[in-house]
Amino acid sequence: MRIMLGLVTAAILAASVPPAHAQEWCGFFDRDNSRVRCGFTSVEQCKQALGEKNAICIPDPEFAARLRRAFAPS
């Protein structure tokens, strides 16, 4: 549950990023023991690479964290 909450939070943060920054995407399957694969340049590329109806693609949480640190007040 905590992981899913973290992923949703990261997705919201990444979605609010200015368009000048390219997003990176991660994908996983909606089943137990699914591995998260990252490094896709678009949600379309992620979905195509995973090629399964139960695949979920989200903005890369690490990418969102880097942006948050970059835009944090000093």
Domain map (residue ranges) of the chain? 2-71
CA gap 25, 48 in Å, rounded:
12
Angle between the N-to-C axes of helices 61-71 and 2-15, in degrees from 0 to 180, rounded to the nearest 10: 60
Tens digits of per-residue pLDDT, 16-60?
Answer: 544 444 568 999 998 888 899 999 999 899 999 998 788 899 988
Higher-pLDDT residue of 12, 51: 51
How much is the pTM?
A: 0.56
